[in-house]
Amino acid sequence: MKRFARLIPCVLLAGLCVAQTATPPSTVSSNKIGEISGSGTRGYLPKFAGAYLINNSNIFQASTGDIGIGTATPFFPLHILSGSTIRQGQVPTSLYVENQATSDTDNATAISGLASAGTGSVFGVLGTTYSPGGIGVFGNYPGVTGGGGGGVLGITSSADFGFSYATRGTATATTGSAVAFFGETFSPDGTAGYFLNRAGGNIIVGHVGQNDDQSVFRVDGTGRVFADGGFQPNGADFAESMAVTGDRQLYSVGDLLVIDASSKRHLAMAQQPYSTLVAGIYSTKPGLLGSMRKVDEPAATNEVPLAVVGIVPCKVTDENGPIGAGDLLVSSSSPGRAMKGTDRARMLGAVVGKALEPLPTGAGVIQVLVTLQ
């Protein structure tokens, strides 16, 4: 019994020694396969830097809960800050989102912005740039063969009589030449601005004043134009587009034209003195051009602009003497040319207008005030 009493303390002492020399699990070498090591900075999400090594990623979560990608000082719930690194075939982009839905019935959306507040000047999507060559929001439809699409679409479903709009452009500076809306096309078949009112109401309305309270320009659903300030075109005459008899290439601007009595609504070259069929002058650049055709109808290839009111250049001759400013002009025997009218008995219904410039001798072109009488 004494021998067993001395053996028990020895066994306990040996066990204690073994326990004190065993390696704790927390200090196992990190070099063993399958075990992860590394360190990082508080707030940063870790990333794998190797098979079993972790360190900081570029994603940071602040104490406010805001997450920064590329920044440790986010001031939005999600704040992405990137440099101008250009990857092959790509432009510098901070955020790229792709939706690969292919169904034609789906309104697939890559990015959706929603400002759900019922009041206040809130924005669903806000784009800002500080570069004079930059664009705040850019929409692009690359196009496909036989397809149609758009780069940017604005929609409003409001039925109120307040001022609702689908797309708005505002130039806020009180000086300078900034443009609120700019349309541009490079195709000869393209249109820089296209307006459509499917219900047949106004197509365009122009207002001035701080409170939008003064309408000065309007195009209604029939195409009729209303303008408080009138029109000031570069041309100084009103002309009618009318067909000519024979080859149109034989006529040129400044020709004196008469009604072709042998045809319907056709003109011909004046070539008889004091013709009472005189109609007007082939206009160089009409200020207003009247036509029997609708907007979408193609222009006729046998028509010319006939100036019936206004100031236009006219071919003249001194066949009946020198022309002075203020002289009444009639047709002459020279095709397409006017001359001074002197026979009062033959001038009723034969006068095309008044000379605004003199022609001392020969033949030439002068400015004429068209006043048929």
Quick check: 329 and 320 in contact, CB under 8 A? no
Domain CATH for 324:
2.40.300.10
Encode pLDDT of 269-308 as tens digits: 999 999 999 999 999 999 999 998 888 888 889 999 999 9
Whether 350 and 224 map to the same domain: the answer is no
Residue 19 has pLDDT above 50, yes or no: no
The residue type of 329 is: L
Domain tally, the chain: 3
Whether 223 and 259 map to the same domain: the answer is no
Whether 319 and 204 map to the same domain: the answer is no
Whether 226 and 306 map to the same domain: the answer is no
Encode pLDDT of 182-228 as tens digits: 999 999 988 999 999 999 999 999 988 877 778 899 999 999 999 99
Whether 225 and 264 map to the same domain: the answer is no
- The residue segments making up the domain with residue 220 are 200-230
For 267-270, the CB contacts below 8 A with 24+ separation are 267/242, 267/243, 267/304, 267/306, 268/244, 269/335, 269/336, 270/331, 270/332, 270/335, 270/336, 270/337, 270/338
Whether 342 and 297 map to the same domain: the answer is yes
Whether 363 and 260 map to the same domain: the answer is yes
> What is the rounded CA–CA span in Å between residue 332 and residue 317?
8
Whether 256 and 331 map to the same domain: the answer is yes
Q: 279: alpha, beta or left, given left = phi > 0 and alpha = psi -120 to 50? A: alpha
The residue type of 173 is: A
CA 35 to chain centre: 60
- pTM of the prediction? 0.69
101 within some domain: no
301 within some domain: yes
347 within some domain: yes
110 within some domain: no
The three-state secondary structure class of 33 is coil
